Structure 1
Amino acid sequence: MASLLSPFFLRDLEAPGAVSAVGKEHASAAGDIVLLATGPDVKSIQMAKNTMRMLRGLSLLPHTVLLADSIETCNSIGYSGCYWSSRIILNPPSASVTLTKFWDWRFKFYYIKKKLMARFVGAGYGVLQCDTDTVWQFNPFPALRSMPSSVVLQYDRPFANAGIMYARPGDAASMLLNELAYRIQLVQNRPDDAVPRIVSFAKKAPFYGNTDDQTALNDVILSLALGNRSFLGSLARFEASNRYKPSGPEWHAIEESRLHIEQIRKTQSLFKMSSVVLPWVPNTRHKYSCVPVAGTSDSVAIAPPMLFGHLPVKPKTGIAHLAGVSGFSAKTAHLKRIGAWNPDINGTWTPPTGERQAAPQNAEKHSGKRPARKRGKGNNHQLPS
């Protein structure tokens, strides 16, 4: 018997039946939705609105779910597709170094975005979770639907960037999203219980307790490919000596560092190459890598750069991610320079004709070939972004 209670109660995605109902309300005919997230501050909301304007120009706004930190934030935005989750943490749940030194609204979303992705996928929908510092030039869904992998990610070293993630029902999607969400909440909520039992040389609190979703994502990809859980890149590396936690061994001097490099190389050796035709670049096949998931016939795909790209913004890139530009002012200046800034949901959108300037030095590029291992001396800690 169907419940007579509305699943849209308080616009809370934790209400019984809410995820299925919201998916049905917003999904495209093919069953896909876009998932964005915003904090409560003016800058975050402006960035979200700028992205939503682009989505509106591509006729994708009706299929967009905006996840906010509270019902008050949704009310201030005034978008009918805005929801929140009463599971979002309001305060740091532990005294880890990460949460003590870097806590802001982004940490509220690391877990819940991945868990909601898993729940939407479990309800039968395809979900494209995307950071709001992006430039949308073409509808990516026809290309994504033509790729056999149930997970498609943006390239970054050593494997992927957590800023653009697509998942639809499949073994790889279910395993990756649930494992990723689990790892984030485990270390975020209970670092004193988890870290010393996972990292052999981490003996004394406070632990660094890294919960950055990107480093965790790359460890999950590696773990699924090798069929064995590894926390070396996302947890062990950050418990080694660094400027925020000077106690601990030098990372590059210990066995865990060597083993991590070995695991990355072994995972890369498993890569399979494939190709996809992008509707906006007809008659051309774009190569990309697939990471097989052990024990399944499914895989995790690393999107070609013309589908999910880094800087510079090129005319034929489906979605370009400004991960290589740091800070709101720098990002908005960059968007203004290429004619892609107008934080008005109802504003018009004409994709830029491309950017002539070179990409920033820290912007990653992807050739479609097997990703290279990051090289360098000393600790290279990826702080949450």
Structure 2
Amino acid sequence: MIHRFYITSILKSALFHVPILVIYMKDVVNSPLHVAFLLSAKTIATMFFEIPTGFVADRAGRKTSVLIGLGLTVISLILFVSHTAFPILVLAQVLFGIAETFDSGAYTALLHDNLEASGEGERFDETLRGLSFWSSVSLFTAFIVGSFAYDSHFAIPFVASAAAAILAVLVLLFIDEKPHAQEKHPGEAGSPKSLLRRILGESKTHMGFLMASNTVGAVFYAAYLLMIPLLFEGSGLPIAHFGWVFAIGVLSFGYGAKLSGNLSSSMPFLKFTSPLAAAGLFAALAYTPTVFVVVPLFFAMRILWGAYSVTLGIELNKRIKDSTTRATVLSVASAIEGGLATVLMIALGAFMRATSLHATGLLIAALFCAASASFTLVSDRSAAP
């Protein structure tokens, strides 16, 4: 069973079109403002649909939810290459964002409960780290292949991504969804109202942990999207090399996820050290923005982020006691991180405009320190055993 999860993850992560997406949009719409709007359309769709689709996954089935997500991904990719009208491209981006939300939470919940039902629950931590690593290898490979394929024909990366998603559907069909190892709710197990009440209860129980842990993740995400490209540019790294560096960064993230299994103290260690180490990296980047410093420290940041991210996922899954709410609670976590990251990017952009890149780097370092302190000091009554 586990090997099918590995194959599905590798295929789902084979997004050949991602490294050339912005270039393709720019060539088609010929307006930076329209490109920004297209990118925002996906982000907004993800934020709005993250929690509702988690509820659907818990209600209709995690496997069904992932299949819907893959189907929407294929439709989105077909729209990208078959129509160039701006409204159609907006629709394609919105569908791609919604597709991500159907997969978010549901796939991890499917893996967790299948392993528990098969008596292999102790393999969840190791398997999730392995899936993260091989997904990163797949994405790294797709980045490189997609960049070269785009030079031959603009449609090849999109078609290749769609083909990989279709293959993922075929493999996923051979994965049986096991029953949840759920708590008993006599007389109301199938009630949508009861499910919603239990979801709210689980989310409230873990809200301190969700807010503190995902604040750290949001700082990582905001710094990655906004600050890193500007640091690359300021360091003198040729734009033509950005794709290679980001691709190796993806691989570094996967290596960090794999490496986290060797850290004996796991989350108690990483929740303190990862953001503090990242703070040190950004302080160094702010003071010495040369290409020979920026690029290696970027890889180090991605390793830290990978180790933190997968360990956080493992820890949160351990804390969720009622598996009937698992996908939705995981979606709540994703929504919190995405919302906080969006607010942070806007705030950092405004701060950078008023000050400088150097000052913004120091501010990010301070934010990592504050997030680390918050996560370390937060009192969570539902601590995992």
Fold conserved between structures, TM > 0.5:
no
Q: Which has the higher contact order (CA 8 A, sep 6+)?
A: 2
Q: Comparing both structures, which one devotes a greater share of its residues to helix?
A: 2
TM-score of the superposed pair, with normalisation by structure 1 = 0.30
Higher strand proportion = 1
